Structure 1
Amino acid sequence: MQSAAREPLPRTWNEPPDASVSTQELEFPPKPASEELRHKIISGFCNDIDPSSFEEAGCTVCGLLARKSCLTPKQDVMFDWDLLIVDDVTRKERSLEGDPIESWDGPVVDELCDYVCTECEEQLLKGSIP
């Protein structure tokens, strides 16, 4: 009876990652981290938890939420805002059924949002409507 070829067992947590390093060479407990390593770890953590890394805001053009790091302030975007003026897309509120149907004047944007997302900015800079 032949024995089936066995797959190697998975590496356990206490095995060294490199076979050339024996467990006798590893020191436990490890030495404290160097000043440089501590600075790198703390700086990386601070960058990861910076509000701009996860804070979201709406795009004034499409209205979608995006991370602020992926948004440009709308006053810094240089495209023709007239591209967003589209007739018969918006409607003013009517109080009575007989009131005339009127469109809003100006570009179709969310005035409460202060940013433009990257996708909308790219399309508008090409001269097309996102």
Structure 2
Amino acid sequence: MMLSPDQPESDPPWGQTNPDTLVDTVNAGARGSVPDEPASGEGKARSVHVPALSREEKRRRRRATAKYRSAHATRERVRVVAFNVAFAELRKLLPTLPPDKKLSKIEILRLAICYISYLNHVLDV
């Protein structure tokens, strides 16, 4: 509905001045009751309009379940074990003195970079 030029925008044509009150009134009409009125008819089936959840809200609710958290923790443990196995295999390929020296992951990566650089240099000569 269009507002006339002489009608102020703050005063809607339907007489409601507060948009929240209007939304409550419209929603109450859809439910068949008046706002701030206690629900009557215990035991009667009534339809309650549940707003559609966004994809992000659905994802958050699904991730909040104990089953999901448990499965996620299991997947993470498997991933970490595979990650550590890969580092152990890489460590076996690197020459260090003493050979059984325990290296951190960053030390393994830095040593691997240096060793690859050295092997490239040897091939270029």
Shorter-chain TM-score category? under 0.3
TM value normalised by structure 1 = 0.25
TM value normalised by structure 2 = 0.26
The structure that is helix-richer by fraction is 2
Kindly name which structure, 1 or 2, has the bigger radius of gyration based on alpha carbons.
2
The structure that is strand-richer by fraction is 1
Q: Larger relative contact order (C-alpha < 8 A, sep ≥ 6)?
A: 1
